Structure 1
Amino acid sequence: MNQTRSDVAGSTRILVLAAFLCTPLAAAAQAAVEAGNVTRATAPAAAKAPQGPMQMTISMTPGAAAPAAQAPAATSAEARGPNCTGAIRSESSVIVAVGKSQLITLQEPVRNRTLGNPGVVQATMVSPQTLYVLGRTVGTTNMIVQGRSGSCSIINVVVNADAGGLQTSLGQLLPGEPGIRVTTAADNLVLTGSVTNAQAAQQAMEIAQAYANAAHNGEGNGNGGNKKGNVLNMLSVDTPQQVMLEVKVAEVSKTLLNQLGSAVNLQGGFGSWTGGLVTSLLTGASAAFFGSKANNLPFEFAIDAQKNDSLVKILAEPNLVTISGQEASFLAGGKIYIPVAQANVLNGAGTVTLQEEEFGVGLKFTPTVLANGRIHLKVAPEVSELSPTGATIRGGTLTGQTVLPVITTRRASTTVQMRDGESFAIGGLLTDSARGSLKALPGAGEVPVLGTLFRSTQYQQDLSELVFIITPRLVKPMQTSNYPLPTDSFSTPNPLSLYFMGNMEGDGKRPTQPAPAPSQPAAPAAVPAAPPAAPRSEGAPATAVSAMPTGRPLDEPAPAAPQALAAASPRPPLPAPAAPARSIAVAPAPAEDTAARIARIEATAARLAQARAAAAATTGRTSSGGN
């Protein structure tokens, strides 16, 4: 029994040892069946593959494996390429994206093949006549494939970045931009086509840059994963949106000043002694009330009282237009040079240089039109002016005192989002400051009423309010050049108005330019058609039509004899008159139309005269028959 157990244990150990030894051999045999017999001209299989181009020869001929005894000699020998028969049969090109694979169908079964750079592409035979190609890194290489007949073909393989994947991502993330196209140039992604606005172009660039970085960092090139891909932006905006910014800078500043001061000079003498009282508490203004006495006891005094109210109003409205995404600047003002002391490092002597400073109304802004119609705005308005009181510098190397210019500046800088035509107050300032001072002669200046002569009082209050209001507008170029200008209402005055009336401007009317003569006469105004003119009676005088009311028919008899018409017997019907004339206001017409209207008026007057004559004759016959 024990012998049997020992035999079983020994057999088990033998089987385990055989399996351990046969596993590498089985794996090698399986690899040889799938990929063919591979002979490299470099280090043994255990060595690390180099990164550069490496020639690889793969034989698909059965039984081509060398004996085990000749393996070291085959390893040290140089790799041979395909032994082609005759000229190259064909040359083709294959483009593969990084990380993508492709199957290539060959013309005949393959005997062997050579791959130029295995680091760029991986090539494997999946059948005797089908080649599997996988793109590894961006680059180019080629393969020489020898068929069973002995003839060779060249396959050029180009591995580019995955443009198709980026095209799909852009279509999903930016569905409103169907005009974007993605191509490749070497290892660069190229964006071409058109977009609707600048923000869409910026978003497409950010997506493409992230995609390119991820593709390069995923190649496993050992660079730490921080390689940056290249993206070329060749996108164009269909209709660049233009933005006009209206900025209003409104400021009101008010200063209230009240001051009262006095000066007294009293002199006298006694024997060889002289003395006096001198006080000067004037506030700096000229004396408003003064007096003097010159005799044995000279006496002088001066009193100044001042009240000053000043009001300053500033209203600046700079307007500026730029394309979405571009910065624009505007300045209406001037420049001033301020001396600045500079120390010389070599000899220690000081020098003075001039520093340029700008003042006036300035504006800088960068608009970006968003997809939803909102405007992203970076704006920095500024209003500056020279202060009437400069900065006084005394001492140092300067003799006396120097007054340097001072620039008062109001500035704001912010970022906002608004819609077209909306207004926003981006900055404001409200100040209310008061200053007071009192100078007096000790003792005498504290007396309630008379102490006013021995003290000086000054009180000043400053009020200021400032606000910035901005309004962005989406604008388009004007289609006409006939737009109003600020100089349209100005005209040069004539000498009489300038010297005698003191007018610096003319009447303010814009000089009118004569209109060009039309090539064809203007069409006359439409008038109602009139019947043909009746022959004019020579004996009947023409009656002015304008003397009759407009609403009375022309066949109505004159109001001079109403009783005769009422007593008359039935009279024969009068001839049917023409349509009553209407009062129509027409524009001046050429001479031909005027003559036609005159003829119609004369015909109407003739018919009216005939009607009146017939009525008078009928009335006369009726009267004679009654008698």
Structure 2
Amino acid sequence: MNLFSVNVMAGTLPGADTKVNLNLTGVSLRDAFRALAEVAEMNIITDNSVQGNVTINLQDITFLEAVELLAKTNGLSYRIVGNTVLVAPPSRLKAGFSEKVTRVFKLMNSEPAEVKESLNLLVKDSAIRVDDRTNSLVITAYKSQIPQIEEVIDTLDQSKKQVVLQARIEEISRDELEKMGIDWSFDTLKLIGNDGKAMKTLEMFGESVDNATVRYSSILDLLESNNKADLLANPQIATIDGKTASIKIGDQVPIVTTDVDSDGSKSSTVEFKDVGINLKITPRVTNNNKIVVKVRPEVSTVTGYTDTTPEYPIVSTRTAETNVRIQDGKTFAIGGLIKDEEIKAMSKVPLLSELPILGKLFQSESTEIAKRELIIFITPKIISDGEEVDTQLKNEFKSTEEEYNNESNVKEGQDNNSQNNLIDKKGLKNTKIVPFEYKVKGTDTFWSISKQFKISFAAIMEHNGIKYMRPLSAGEVLTIPVPANNYYKVKEGDTVKDIAEEYNIFTQPIRQINSIKSLDGKAGMKLVLPVEVKEEDRCDFNEENKVDEVKASKDTEIESKDKNKKNKGEKSNNEEVKKQDEAESSTTKHSSS
């Protein structure tokens, strides 16, 4: 550093209290400091970057007061080293006269990268190194900066509260909601998509958190018990204040991309795209223990198939983003995703509908369009103790598969067959199984097939000798281990809708499992249901086995008789051949004589 030095009589810092009087007009800043040093008989060194002109009139002030006023009014700093005053811009003083040190700051609660961003205001980015292994920051800075750095880190590295997020995803009959007078109130969230439908957010207001929770859950339980709602998933996840939690529920479908090379040859690549519901939730806890929840739902569905051979699914994706301020433990809902479900029903007059030609007059087919709405309920709960979160998650968190397998409570007014339980491998061991061949469709996965049949996908994989989860191919045939008691024998006049209402299930899985649209002309058909069938409606596989045994016995008897006849015929033929041989031999002898 090139400095301009003015040396006058040797003095000491105590002499810095000497009173000075100085009057200068339009002199350079460096000359002003030189004159001040001469008057006080002190040593001053000014940096060569000190420039500009100044006019001063100082009366009866100490030397150090004069230096400080002159330096600060011109954006400079000074430092006393021994019996000399150093004057320079602040950055030059730090670079030339301050000693740098390296310190390691171990963070207990925060991410090093996040704290580093805040420290960049104090220290250059290159002076901070993140050590992810020890969750530490390694900082090289001037000694004078260390106290300020420590203060900033202590402020930022505070223990954050944790939030448990409970989600309940329901598909509900829209018509039934309107009948009950339920409306998931005000439009505040717009979907980004081709159809431009609105989503809605609602806080479940009430006297208390418990009352609000009971009210909405009771409504859902009532709808489910009447087959007007379907619980798709009930996941629970914990996250830290300000951190994003992600919940994905759905399947994967193959998306094929075809590239044409310069020589005209084509190459195809297959990617699997998530189809279903993807929730990204970021909670932020305020000082008054309210929660600001940023929610970004993404809903994707298969809207159709390409005209190519083979067919590939067309996926439509809609996304939205909203912020909701809510009290700890209360519930809000995101709704408005309405779809149309087509239900075909056939009505017949017994006997008369079977008459040739005229029978059509006693039949009628109707198509019903049912509107179903997807609603996502989210309940954030603040948990301060990390151990409590761990315990709560162990006790309450269930994946969808575990929930199906472990559910033990039966809804009031329903029998055991109406539960959402999945039959696992253990349950199948003590059950008579009648295998069912199922042809895989384009969007099927092990999980979706498991949900249709209400049989654990692990049991399906084991039954087919499949060790590892893999994508399924359209047209592939799986053998499903269906309990014999799940086979329904179709009677004359049965309709899919009637059977669904009788067994409190939806019509869609019946049609998908059995690959049917209606039961017209299918009397006697063995229909697989995802629930246990009443004894009077079951297929009698024991009787069929007896018939098969009798038939096999008769076939064996006929085969035995045929064999005896054949043996007798062969014996008779042998005797005739023997007689002919003897006769020929006798004739030969006579001729010879």
Give the TM-score normalised by structure 2: 0.36
The two structures have a TM-score, normalised by structure 1, of: 0.34
Higher RCO (C-alpha under 8 Å, 6+ residues apart) = 2
Q: Which has the larger radius of gyration?
A: 1
Bigger proportion of residues as helix: 2
